[in-house]
Structures are given as C-alpha cells and as structure tokens.
Amino acid sequence: MTITLTHYVVLSAVLFGIGVFGALTRRNAIGIMMSIELIFNAANINMVAFSRFITPETAAGELFTMFIIAVAAAESVLGLAIILAIYRKRQVLNADQMDLMKW
C-alpha cells in the first residue's frame, strides 16, 4: 500500500479533532496545553504533507512548520511557568478551579 496525501490529511484531521475535544473537556491545565499541542501538530502534518504533495518545488510548508514548532515551544514554556506560579500560590492545577473571576 502506498501512503497518499489522503492518509496524511485524515491523520491530521483526526488529530485536530482529538485536540479540540481534549482542550474543551480536560480539567487539568497541563492536559489542556497538551491537547492544544495536538492541534498545532495536526497543522504541522498538514503543512508538511501539502508541501510534499502539492508544491514539491518550494519549501513553504516546511518553513512554516519550523516557525510553528518554535512558537509553540515558546507558548508552552510560558504556559508552564504561569501554571507553576499559580500552583505555588494556590495549590490549584485544574482549570475549573481557576475561577476567581466569573461572568
């Protein structure tokens, strides 16, 4: 069996679905961040696959992916730092307990 573009797109769509579902249902803040990473990776797979199959003569998709990886790393570093600061202060990790402000 040869792997075609369809396989990659289905994989990334499934990954995107899992990511969105996880981001909306997880209670733990770190779990939400992991789900969001899945969404980023779904976009990455899409970019690389499209670049390989649709525009093989340019590397625009691969380039985009490098930037996404770098930015996602910065975002998770910042997220973990804030989670750590909140945990130190209030011993809270669950997003539904970060509810000092509502409505």
For binding to other proteins (CB under 8 A), which residues are involved?
Answer: 16, 19-20, 23, 29, 32-33, 36, 39-40, 42-43, 46-47, 50, 54-55, 60-61, 63-64, 67-68, 71, 74-75, 78-79, 82-83, 85-86, 89-90, 95, 98, 100-101, 103
Separation of CA 80 from chain center: 14
Please say whether the beta carbons of 68 and 47 come within 8 A: yes
In whole angstroms, how close is the CB of 102 to other proteins at the nearest point?
8
Please say whether the beta carbons of 60 and 17 come within 8 A: no
CA dihedral over 77, 82, 85, 86, signed as positive or negative = negative
Indicate the residue among 10 and 78 with the shorter CB distance to other proteins: 78
